[in-house]
Amino acid sequence: MALGFFNRLKAGLSRSTQKLSDGITGAFTRRKLDDAALEELEETLIAADLGTEVAARVIAAFRRTRFGREVTDEEVKTALAGEIAEILAPVARPLEIDPAHKPFVVLVVGVNGTGKTTTIGKLAQHYAEAGLRPMLVAGDTFRAAAVEQLQIWGQRTSAPVIAGAANADAAGLAFEALTRAAAEGADVVLIDTAGRLHNKSVLMEELRKIIRVIRKHDPSAPHATLLVLDATTGQNAIQQVRVFKEMVDITGLIVTKLDGSARGGIVVALAEAFGLPVHAVGVGEQAADLRPFDAEDYARGLVGT
């Protein structure tokens, strides 16, 4: 990961880092790692949104390797960063666009407000810069703002945007997009979707219909189904993964808005709970602020080492 982005990631995670770091420094100026110290550390980890499973796993490792020893806060932070990196390493996998599928179809899902539409625009810009031809589908037809936003990204990236009238059938738009993508030689089709969770059964039916229609064009599509999560929701993100996994076959996660959150630990909790690939993380509004997820950089940035 480029140093520039690591610095932005570190700055973005600063609120999360402070929460975690203050707790560790407060508990470990120089003291013996006994039961009381481990209990304090566990509470600090849970408060930092790492979740109870991760906290228990880290405490078990500390008990095994350092129990009864005198430790400093810096030693604890370094060891903690190592434990977190180990949890994150298996899920840090970039999204690979397989050229055998042309177009490569990416369905993007998530509740409203997570940054789905902006994420699609940023991905389109990355692909365009890599020499690929993206096409965008404004499948969240209930929100005029989402359609307008995609059209702006389309202009920036010279990518065609398939949009319909307000409340148009999203599955119909997806079908139109794939027909055009095949005719125009697009490499990647990025499909935005609605995220109205208050009526789960309607949303579930809409997403399944989009997938059925896509498969009439290409039985292997969608080739990736990405769930976009907002880091500021903390533990709610766990529930969102559960809900969307019931609806569609989620193949990977993108976590946004880490720069506005003191809950960066949620990425670690998600890795432990689901083991789904975390393809990218976002720390700002610009396309350059969404980058492939790096386990070691994230662990160091989160703990502040």
Q: Is 49 annotated to bind ligand?
A: no
Q: Name 153's Cβ contacts closer than 8 Å, sequence gap at least 6.
A: 118, 120, 121, 122, 124, 125, 136, 159, 161
Backbone angles phi, psi at 98, to 5 degrees: -85, 115
Q: Is 132 annotated to bind ligand?
A: no
Q: Going from the first residue of the chain to its last (305 residues), give the mean pLDDT of each consecutive group of 10, the final group possibly shorter.
A: 74 88 82 90 93 94 91 92 96 96 97 93 96 97 90 95 92 96 97 88 94 96 98 93 96 93 91 97 90 94 90
Q: What is the pLDDT of residue 215?
A: 97
Distance CA 216, CA 159 (A): 24
Which of 19-41 are b and which e, b meaning 16 or more Cβ less than 10 Å from the residue's Cβ?
Answer: bbbebbbebbeeeebeeebbebb
Q: Are 253 and 278 in contact (CB under 8 A)?
A: yes
Q: Is 113 annotated to bind ligand?
A: yes
Q: Is 259 annotated to bind ligand?
A: yes
Q: Is 68 annotated to bind ligand?
A: no
Which of 87-108 are b and which e, b meaning 16 or more Cβ less than 10 Å from the residue's Cβ?
Answer: bbeebbeebebeeebbbbbbbb
Q: Is 116 annotated to bind ligand?
A: yes
Q: Is 192 annotated to bind ligand?
A: yes
Q: Is 196 annotated to bind ligand?
A: yes
Q: Is 114 annotated to bind ligand?
A: yes
Q: Is 47 annotated to bind ligand?
A: no
Burial (CB < 10 A; 0-12, 13-18, 19+), residue 227, is: buried
Structure tokens of 104? 């490569």
Q: What is the pLDDT of residue 2?
A: 56
Q: What is the CATH number of domain 3-91?
A: 1.20.120.140
Q: So where are the chain's domains?
A: 3-91, 104-293
Q: Is 256 annotated to bind ligand?
A: yes
**112, 121, 168, 204, 294 from 196: Cα distances, Å:** 6, 20, 15, 10, 31
Q: Is 156 annotated to bind ligand?
A: no
Q: Is 280 annotated to bind ligand?
A: no
Q: Is 147 annotated to bind ligand?
A: no
Backbone angles phi, psi at 39, to 5 degrees: -65, -45
Structure tokens of 171? 């599955």
Q: Is 265 annotated to bind ligand?
A: no
Options 3.90.850.10, 3.40.50.300, 3.40.640.10, 3.10.20.70; CATH of 104-293: 3.40.50.300
pTM value?
0.94
Structure tokens of 100? 């055998």
Backbone angles phi, psi at 292, to 5 degrees: -55, 145
How many residues are recorded in the chain? 305
Distance CA 134, CA 81 (A): 37
Q: Is 257 annotated to bind ligand?
A: yes
The CA angle 286-227-204, to the nearest 5 degrees, is: 135
DSSP state, residue 92:
B
Distance CA 248, CA 236 (A): 18
Q: What is the pLDDT of residue 198?
A: 77
